[in-house]
Chains A and B, each alone.
Chain A
Amino acid sequence: MPTTPSEEDILSLFRRLSNTSDQAALWQLHTHYFHRIYAYVLAIVGQKEAAEEITNDIFVDIWQGRHLLANVTRPEIYLFVCAKNKAVRHLKKKSMTFESLDELRDIECVLEKDPYELLISSEMLKYINDAIAALPPKCRMIFRLVKENNLKYREVAELLEISEKTVENQMTIALKKLSASILFKLV
């Protein structure tokens, strides 16, 4: 997707931060990742205000620890791991724990038409979104993570501390349920 920067793009932003303390690079990261990190954090903490605060903290942390970025090789995963650690620490402070995927909060996931992607009808898009809304929450969260962040199943598995097979299975369920309901809606 054109909106998703490549790994090299993000690595070069990281280098600008670590080598030249370039604040503009931080704002570029913010543009690319604010909404994605926010969605991920929200899935863990389940509360909008807290999620926003934690997401802001992450960017401040990145700035303050920018010298550490020089050693990062997988920038996207680095950002999400930071996010996860912060979110889990927040839950601990509130004497809550985040043990497993089952505790992911329900997160909505709505697809929209890329303005350039005109091939899919609005009717079809509506069916797809209805079907996504009807997915089990766990399934929907994984679907959102994979789709929104263009992550590999292996990477999602790492972030959620579950097996890659589980992610693949959940995506299989998602695709199957999506297909079935779309097909029957049309029929």
Chain B
Amino acid sequence: MSGLWPTNLRSVLSTIYLLNMPPKRLWELLSRKYNNELTPEEQEELEQLLREHRDVFELNETFSRLKDMPVQPLTTPADEERSRQAIAARLPPPPLARSPKKLLRWAAAACAVLIVAGIWFYHLKTTPSPLPGSQNEVATSTSKSKVLLPDGSTVILNRQSKLVYNKDFGVNKREISLTGEAYFDIAKNEAIPLTVVAGPIQIKVMGTAFNVRAYTGDSTIETSLIRGSIEVSSSDDPERSIRMRPNEKIIFGKNNTPSPISPGAKSAQGSKPAQIFVQMNRIQPNPIDSTINEIVWVQDKLVFSKEPFYSLAKKMERWYQVRIRFKDKISEQLSLTGSLEKESLTEALDALRQLTPFNYQIDSGVVTISKNNKPD
């Protein structure tokens, strides 16, 4: 991107800005607005000033978005964990609670904090009751869909995915079952906990945002936590749950045949629990533009500017749900600029080839990119 505005417009704007410097009063009012302290008269005055200074008007828009942008913490999750351990070591052991169930939870929680770096929590867990007969269902095929749940939570449902939730969602309980992939932004409500069931995986949710990828055809189920906190457990070992911290990703490997999607599904009594492969990864935002690969698909548009092909490929993998491999270093390093919206995978690749020549081959979901040897 060369800039947000066309060059001639930008130079006009800069001239206007120099000739028509906004008065100090405008900034004062913007500052008070930031603090939500504007009186109706000041609001009026600000609007008048913004009409006179169109260029600042743009910035005003930016600033209102600025409010939603979080400040990067100075500490890492590892720092937090170290702090938790240091504090836990100085606290007395947790007091005995009345109910034995509670006591077990407590003891388990304390052990986890002290010994296992707070990641693994052993809980007594009750399996969720199956969804009632009456339930709501949203399914997508070739396009994504944004679902607004009755409690104010939003879910963005990826292609070929299905979401089922109970009819009285948010009134009594909040139970969701998912096949496919979805990004959840869940409204906080401690009184009515929320569970998401994806195949054998059960996720207990506080208020939070996270992504679940659980396509029936995939060999893994991935849960990526963007913010807040969730607890993930598997039906094969329902008593063990993993408490996730932001920017962590848990990958469950499905063993043999994936169990059919039914909320609360459990492995048959008496049978040996299947070994489920679990891997915990960190989510690394892309250094170039701080996007997060796990949730790139949520966007309506894939925009890239002077981006190396290897990095764009990561996003395209998510976008088109394919794997992209490079045959050589040269094509990996190709620099690409453009945006993709409704194009199919081949349309996209052909369009990119117009910009920078390369060859590609698609074979069962794997795209192989190689350098353009001999143009024919």
**Chain A interface (Cβ within 8 Å of chain B)?**
1-3, 5, 9, 21, 23-24, 26-27, 30-31, 34-36, 38-39, 42, 52, 55-56, 59-60, 63, 107-125, 128, 144, 146-148, 152-153, 168, 171-176, 178-179, 182-184, 186-187
Contact = CB atoms under 8 A, between A and B. Distances in A.
Q: Is the interface of A mostly helix, strand, loop or mixed?
A: helix
Given A23-B91, A34-B75, A125 B207 contact: no
A119 B65 contact: yes
Given A21-B95, A122-B289, A124-B4, A56 B109 contact: no
B10 interface: yes
A42 B95 CA distance: 33
B62 to A, nearest CB: 7
A35 B14 contact: no
Contacts of B86: 56
Contacts, number: 172
B70 interface: yes
Contacts of B73: 35-36, 38-39
A184 B14 contact: yes
A128 B70 CA distance: 13
Given A128-B66, A183-B17, A56 B87 contact: yes
Interface stretch (B128-136, B173-181, B222-230, B232-240): B222-230
A81 B45 CA distance: 36
Contacts of A5: 188
Given A116-B185, A122-B290, A128-B66, 16 more contacts: A30-B87, A39-B73, A39-B75, A56-B90, A111-B66, A111-B69, A112-B69, A117-B68, A120-B69, A125-B290, A146-B35, A147-B67, A171-B31, A172-B28, A175-B34, A175-B63
B93 to A, nearest CB: 9
Contacts of B13: 183, 187
B67 to A, nearest CB: 8
Contacts of B14: 183-184, 187
Given A2-B209, A34-B80, A56-B86, A187 B10 contact: yes
